[in-house]
Structure formats: C-alpha cells, structure tokens
Chain A
Amino acid sequence: MSVMNAQAGAVRSMVDFYLTGMRTQIQIGFQYRAATYMYTIGMLSEPVIYLVVWRTIADQHGGTLNGIGGGQIAAYYIVWTLVRTFNIVFTPFGWEWRIREGELSAQLLRPIHPVHYDMATFAGQKIPWLIMYAPLAVGLGFIFHPSLHPRPLEVVVFFVAIWGAYVIRSLNHFVLGMLTLFTTRATALFQIWFLTELLVSGRLVPLTFMPQWAQSIAAWLPFKWTFYFPIEALVGAMSTETLLTGLLWQCLWAAIGSALVFVTFRLSVRHYSAVGN
C-alpha cells in the first residue's frame, strides 16, 4: 500500500512539475509576444514554399499529382504547420551553448532528469505559439482553399499523434544532443540526421510522392511518425486500423527513444567535464 502511495505521490509530483514548467514557458512566450509572432510567421515560410511549389506542379498536371488534388496538397501543408508547431523541440545544436553557459550543470544538479525539463518547457511554449498560429492558419485557408473533411476518429487520433510526434522528437533530439558530451563538434552528425528527416519524414514532400523504395526505408525509421503520420491522420483517408496501428508505432518509437535516453544519459554524464560556467 505504501509503495502504491509513493508511486501515486511521484506521479502527482511529476504532473505538478510539468504543469509548473509549462506555465513558466507560457509566461515567457507572452512576455515576448512580438518575437513569438515573428518566429511563428518565419516558421510558416517553409511549408508555404513547399505548398506553392507542389500546387504549381499539380496544376501543370491537370490539377492532381499522384492522384492527390490541389486542395488536398493545401490541406497537407497547412496541417503540416500545426504539426510543426507541436514537434519543435530543443535542438541538438543548442547543446554546445547549454554546456558552455553552464545550463547543463544547473540541470544536472536538480533532482529531475533533464529530459523532463526540456519536455515540460517546450510543451508550454506550444500554447502561445498555437494562439498566435490560429489566425495565420485561417489566413492560409482563405488563400489556398484546403480540402479537409476529417472523421471524428481522425481528429482524435490527430490530437494524440501530434503529442506522440512531440515525445518521439524530444527523445531523439535529446539523445543526439548528448553526443556533444562525447565530441565537442557533433553538429556534422546532426546535419545528416536532419537531412534524412527532411527527406523521409513527409516534411519536404508527402511520402506518397516518394518512390516505393524510399517509402520502404521510411517505414523502418522514426521520422514519418513525427510528420507524415499525424498530418495524414487528419488529411488522408486512413482506415481505423491504420490510424490505431500508427499510434502503436508511435508508442514503440517513444519506448525506443526512452530506452536510448536512459542508456545514453548514463554513459554521457560520465564523460561530462562541466567545462562551462
């Protein structure tokens, strides 16, 4: 009984930490409203470019591309922007700064795993971003006329999947970031990772536009579960089985990410030289 009480207390404390961490970041987001807005607008430029390019190509091919209409392409990239808002996490490139400024030392001195700190704070940042993103999304809708008719189940799966994407990306990037503790300049490795993500996640182009061999590779990597799956859950016409199996795949990749964080953290803190402030 006392073990159960202790576990319940630990869960309550963790929920309290996440809510407090999120509140703190929401305050920071609102403190710098203009900067947050500029950031949100800047973030939209990437999918809008993709959208315009693919829409133009679709128009030149009689209005469809690989059987996908212009309205669906618009829906894909507009939902892309919402998924992107959710799957932004602490960048591995930031780890060098984090070490140099002593921020990692400060986090390691706290009785909570640093990955929770990153996940709580970035989850909080989503709230001001979403509030500022909403009118922009409406504006994009008026300009590009997306074709979007989701079923209620697709909406539910989408809202679970965007958080799943957030968790998977947070864990993967945390593992990547920790490589900085082994080698000072791990950025070259990050570039390869991000290039792969760009190509096989559905970020640059919907995976259905890719050749079959590329789609086969993508199926065995975590990237598609952080972009393509949540987007398609809302935009595409996935069967109920595909939707639910997709969520299970996300759980699997989250579990793999958690295990990697656990192992890599234990190894990397032994290498930490606390050279920063």
Chain B
Amino acid sequence: MAGVVHVDALEKVFRVPEREAGLRASLRSLVNRQWREVRAVDGVSFDVEAGEVVGFLGPNGAGKTTTLKMLSGLLHPTGGGARVLGHVPWGREREYLRRMTLVMGNRNQLQWDLPALDSFELNRAIYRLPREPFRETRDELIELLDIGDLVRKPVRQLSLGERMKVEVVGSLLHLPQVLFLDEPTIGLDVTMQKRIRNFIAAYNERYGATVLLTSHYMADVEALCKRVIVIHHGKLLFDGRLEALADRFGAYKTIEAVLADGETISMQVPRNETSAATARLLAENEVHDLTVEDPPIEDVIEQVFAS
C-alpha cells in the first residue's frame, strides 16, 4: 500500500551550458557550445505515510529542493515517478494544488505593499474557500502563531522573521494535507525558529497533515521529525528513524564519567570499542556517575555527508 507521498526511482537531470572564463572561450562557445549534465536527483525512492513529519536532509546541492519542486509539480522529472495524494504532481491538477503547499524560506507570495490580510483574502479567492470557514481558519492560524498585530501592517514593513511567519500562515489557509517545507526557518533567530517549529507541530497535530521538511538546523529536525531521509549527490543514503542515523553513521560515542574525587573524565571512543572502553574505565577508576552518549546529530550528519 503506497503512502500519501510515493516516490519511485525519481530522477532529474539538468543540462547546463559550461565554458571557461575569458573572451577566447566566449568566442569558442559561439560555434561549439559545451553542455554538462547535472544529475540533481538520481533514482530516489521513498514513501511517506499520512500524518508523518519527515526530515529531508542533505548538504547544499544534494537534490532536496529539486525533489520538493518535483513533488509540488513545479518541475517535470527526467525519469521515475511519484504520486502525492493519488495525483501525479507535475500533472498540476487543480484538485492536487488545492491540497498541498510548498513553503520556501526565501519565497514571497504576499503582496509587498499591502497588509497580509489582503493577500490572505486573495488566497481565499484563488483557493475557492467559502468565506466563513476561511475566516475561522485564518483567525485560528493567526492566533496559533500569534501574529495578530502583524497582519495589518504592509508586508514591506515586516522584518524577515515576521514576514516568514505571515508567509507560513498564508500558505496554510487552504488547510493543505501535504506540506513541503523547504528551509522554513532559514535566516531566523532561535526564538523565531522555535515559534515556527511549534506552529508546524501544532498544525500537524491539529489537521493530521503530512510534512516533508528540509532544514540545515538540526534543532528543527530533532524537534519535529521522528524519521529522516538523507540524500547526497542526488542519491538516497539513509531512510529511517533519527536515532538509527546515529547508530549507522555515528563514528564514535562520548563517554563521560564523574570520579569519586569529583574529577570529570570525558572521552570520545570509536563506536565498536565503546563496551571495552567503558569496562576499562570502570575497572581502573572509582566511578560515581557514567554516561555514554551518541554524538550530536550535527556531527552525525557531517559524518554522513563526508562519507
């Protein structure tokens, strides 16, 4: 049984012109233009079930945004297939577009010169939402993200973080069942990041929406995602629970011990030597307290990308 999001060997190859710098290369390119194929997404497959919040991780250029753009119908794939909510995304059926949203951290769909409420009203007309339920949803989302005082100001007078909050609300007014969130907290301070995170969690819980989230902030991923999908160079590297990522890619563990004389010992040991190192520590010292921890998720991810 396929999930709400079903991705099957999805591929996207971009053909980009390429030439050396300089006038000579420029003239040469007039008669002999060189092209290079960039395999942005290379046979990625996964399923996401209804109501899941999945972190979609990878370094810059890994193919995350390209995958999200294909799943939201912006890009046509070069190969493979996908279905979201039973629709082929790039078929761009209205019924599909009414049930999903793509939020990109640096995209602005709001009218710059008007208060956000006017943009919300335009969204109501675009999504053909009945007025009364629309008002209820709008007010509920505004309250949930506490932006009542922001939506009456012209958008151009909002800070980046304020605009992002308003943008997120604008993207959810039609109560999409699937959310593709591409770096929704990029450039925001920690307080604002937390607000957005809490809001996404609340929306997911309240409406049972399926969320596929990319973020370079591991705090976003840890707070929201039980499952992560990691891609690198367009290929899927890992698909599983967040903790399992550390088991598989965490090269070391951190052992911390508080000795009887109050001294604290901290050491990183290779993962496969953890038991032996712990036993040795306990045999050689009088230990009052002992903790063995996986490395921080940032370090694990770094390890994954380096591998």
Q: Out of B92, B109, B127, which one reaches A269, CB within 8 Å?
A: B92
Q: Is the CB of B127 within 8 A of A102?
A: no
Closest to B118 in A: A24
* Among B41-49, B70-78, B226-234, the stretch in contact with A: B70-78
Query: CA–CA, A13 to B128, complex, Å?
Result: 6
Known contacts A31-B113, A106-B107, A108-B92, A273 near B127 by CB under 8 Å: no
Name the one of A27, A28, A111 contacting B97, with C-beta atoms under 8 angstroms.
A111
Check if A24 sits within 8 Å of B14, measured CB to CB. Answer: no
Binary per-residue interface labels of chain A (12-35) against chain B in the complex, 1 for a CB within 8 Å, 0 otherwise: 010011011100100110011000
- Count A-side interface residues using an 8 Å CB cutoff: 26
A contact residues around B104 at 8 Å (CB)? 102, 105, 277
With contacts A20-B124, A24-B118 known, is A109 near B111, CB below 8 A? no
B159 near A: Cβ within 8 Å?
A: no
A109 near B72: Cβ-Cβ < 8 Å: yes
The interface residues of chain A lying within 8 Å CB-to-CB of B264 are: none
Question: Quick one: which of A16, A24, A105, A269 contacts B114, CB cutoff 8 A?
Answer: A24
A110 close to B (CB within 8 Å)? yes
The answer to whether B118 touches A27, judged by C-beta atoms less than 8 angstroms apart, is yes
Query: How many residues of chain B get a CB closer than 8 Å to chain A's CBs?
Result: 32
**Across the interface, which residues of A come within 8 angstroms of B114, CB to CB?**
24, 27-28, 31
Known: A111-B127, A277-B107. Contact between A272 and B113, CB under 8 A? no
Q: Scan B14-44; emit 1 where CB is below 8 A from any A CB, else 0.
A: 1000000000000000000000000000000
Contacts of A28 in B (CB 8 A): 111, 113-114
**Which of B94, B101, B111, B122 has the largest number of chain A CB atoms within 10 A?**
B122
Interface string of B99-138 (1 = CB under 8 A from A): 0011010111101011000110110111110000000000
> Closest residue to A266 on the B side, CB-wise?
B92
Q: Does A255 contact B (CB under 8 A)?
A: no
Q: In whole angstroms, what is the CA distance A102 to B128 when docked?
A: 23
Whether the pair B125, A20 counts as a contact (CB closer than 8 A) is yes
What residues on A are CB-neighbors of B271 within 8 Å? none
Separation of A111 and B124 alpha carbons in the complex (Å): 11
Complex formed: what's the CA distance from A16 to B102 in Å? Answer: 24
Chain A residues 109-160 with CB under 8 Å of chain B are 109-112
Q: Please determine whether B101 and A17 come into contact, CB atoms closer than 8 angstroms.
A: no
Which 7 A-B pairs give the minimum distances between C-beta atoms? A20-B125, A111-B97, A111-B94, A17-B125, A106-B109, A13-B128, A274-B74
Question: Which residues on B are within 8 Å of A, measured CB to CB?
Answer: 14, 69, 72-76, 92, 94-95, 97-98, 101-102, 104, 106-109, 111, 113-114, 118-119, 121-122, 124-128, 154
Given A31-B154, A273-B75, 5 new contacts (CB under 8 A): A106-B109, A110-B97, A110-B127, A111-B128, A270-B76
